[in-house]
């Protein structure tokens, strides 16, 4: 276990980034977007102007992701007059990162001036009465059963308080905005509670039945560390899951990473249209 580091470590990352962002003429970033598995196309699209691509390995103290299909780069760009940070590639606990490393980009974003974060992921659909693969689900809350937390360890008062409220992080105004944008784009946007499982193994059918009883609608292995960090440092969050498969035991079909990636590729157009509309109107 590597302890959560001192604020100076985060500041080194943020200061180096701030300098590169300023040098390219960008204003202070206000929005960060964390792009989930197979959902990275938007950052490379024409909707993002004046792109500055910074590989994670060029950012001091930044973790570097090992999942081969994830890029591991920060794309800084302008969308609708705002400077937006796109984290293309995230750090998963199942890769061996500590939780505070999984949420490292969130804290650095805060130090750079970000106050709004959009977190996206691929997830399994638990509630098959309502959800089918390809659905986009707006997160209203989450359940995390594993004991670890990105905020475990010494608290950094410069970032946030030791004990902090988790009731408002899934911001109600952002959720309303996302629904308006989805309706205007003609995209169906459902709502649900995300269950965090540490992975990397997919869940057992019994685990999924238990999660359903507990009130979860979708399940995945990311996002929650970043959301907790955001709640701590005062960033409001919009969370969107792409249902890439039905969860274990729902249909009995074998679960594969290929299915996850194929479905996220198939919804790419809807997903990027929604993302674009929301970012422009934040």
Of positions 240, 247, 279, 282, contacts ligand HPA by CB under 6 A: 247
- Complex with ligand HPA: residue 25 or 200, whichever CB lies closer: 200
Interface segment toward ligand HPA; rule CB under 6 A; list 67-75, 120-128, 163-171, 267-275:
120-128
108 vs 255 by CB, closer to ligand HPA: 255
Among 35, 111, 123, 282, binds ligand HPA (CB under 6 A): 123
Phi, psi of 23 (to 5 degrees): -60, -25
Q: How many residues bind ligand HPA (CB under 6 A)?
A: 14
Q: Restricting to residues 217-236, name those near ligand HPA by CB under 6 A.
A: 219-221
Contacts for 82 with CB less than 8 Å, ≥ 6 apart = 27, 29, 30, 31, 279, 282
Q: Give min distance, CB of 252 to ligand HPA, in A.
A: 13
Residue 97 vs residues 213, 258, 275: alpha-carbon distances, Å: 30, 23, 28
Shortest approach of ligand HPA to residue 37 CB, angstroms? Answer: 7
Closest alpha carbon to 99 in 227, 257, 240, 237: 227
Residues 138-177 interacting with ligand HPA (rule: CB under 6 A): none
Cβ-proximal residues to 143 (8 Å cutoff; 6+ apart), any chain:
193, 194, 195, 196, 211, 214, 215, 216
Does position 244 interact with ligand HPA (CB under 6 A)? The reply is yes
- Is 108 a binding residue for ligand HPA by CB under 6 A? The answer is no
Q: Tell me the C-alpha distance between 130 and 132, whole Å.
A: 7
Q: Please report whether residue 192 would count as binding ligand HPA according to CB under 6 A.
A: no
Give the residue among 145, 139, 245, 257 at the shortest CA–CA distance from 192. 139
Task: Work out how close the CB of 278 gets to ligand HPA at its nearest, in angstroms, rounded to a whole number.
Answer: 22
Q: Which of 70, 83, 106, 245 binds ligand HPA (CB under 6 A)?
A: 245
For residues 196 and 219, what is the distance between their CA atoms, to the nearest angstrom?
6
Interface mask toward ligand HPA for 56-85; x: CB under 6 A: ------------------------------
Can you tell me which of 62, 91, 196, 202 binds ligand HPA, judged by CB under 6 A? 202
Closest distance between ligand HPA and the C-beta of residue 162, in Å?
Answer: 31
Rounded Cα–Cα distance for residues 82 and 30 (Å): 7
Residues, the chain, total?
Answer: 282
CB 136 within 8 A of CB 270: yes
Q: Does 263 bind ligand HPA (CB under 6 A)?
A: no
Q: What percent helix, strand, coil does the chain show, rounded to 5?
A: 35, 25, 40
Instruction: Report in angstroms how near the CB of residue 280 gets to ligand HPA at its nearest.
Output: 28
- Beta-ladder partners of 84: 31, 77
Distances 221 to 143, 202, 218 between C-alpha atoms, Å: 12, 9, 11
Q: Give the binding site for ligand HPA (CB under 6 A).
A: 122-124, 197, 202-203, 219-221, 244-245, 247, 255, 260
């Amino acid at each position: 276990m590597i302890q959560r580091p001192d604020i100076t470590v985060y500041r080194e990352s943020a200061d180096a980034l701030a300098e590169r962002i300023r040098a390219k003429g960008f204003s202070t970033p206000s929005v960060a977007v964390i792009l989930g598995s197979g959902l990275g196309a938007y950052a490379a699209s024409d909707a993002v102007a004046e792109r500055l691509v910074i590989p994670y390995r060029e950012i001091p103290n930044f973790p570097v992701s090992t999942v081969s299909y994830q890029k591991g780069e920060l794309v800084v760009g302008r969308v609708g007059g705002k400077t937006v940070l796109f984290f293309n590639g995230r750090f998963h606990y199942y890769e061996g990162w500590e939780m505070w490393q999984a949420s490292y980009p969130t804290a650095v974003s805060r130090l750079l001036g970000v106050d709004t974060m959009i977190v996206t992921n691929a997830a399994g659909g638990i509630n098959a009465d309502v959800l089918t693969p390809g659905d986009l689900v707006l997160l209203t809350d989450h359940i995390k059963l594993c004991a670890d937390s990105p905020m475990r360890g010494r608290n950094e008062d410069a970032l946030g308080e030791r004990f902090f409220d988790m009731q408002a992080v899934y911001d109600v105004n952002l959720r309303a905005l996302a629904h308006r944008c989805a309706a205007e784009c003609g995209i169906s946007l459902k709502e649900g509670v995300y269950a965090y499982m540490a992975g990397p193994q997919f869940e057992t059918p019994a685990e999924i039945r238990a999660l359903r009883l507990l009130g979860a609608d979708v399940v995945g292995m990311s996002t929650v560390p970043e959301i907790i960090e955001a709640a701590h440092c005062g960033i409001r969050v919009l969370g969107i899951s792409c249902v890439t498969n039905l969860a274990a035991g729902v249909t009995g079909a074998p679960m594969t990473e290929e299915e996850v990636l194929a479905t996220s590729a198939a919804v790419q157009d809807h997903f990027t249209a929604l993302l674009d509309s929301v970012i422009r109107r934040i």
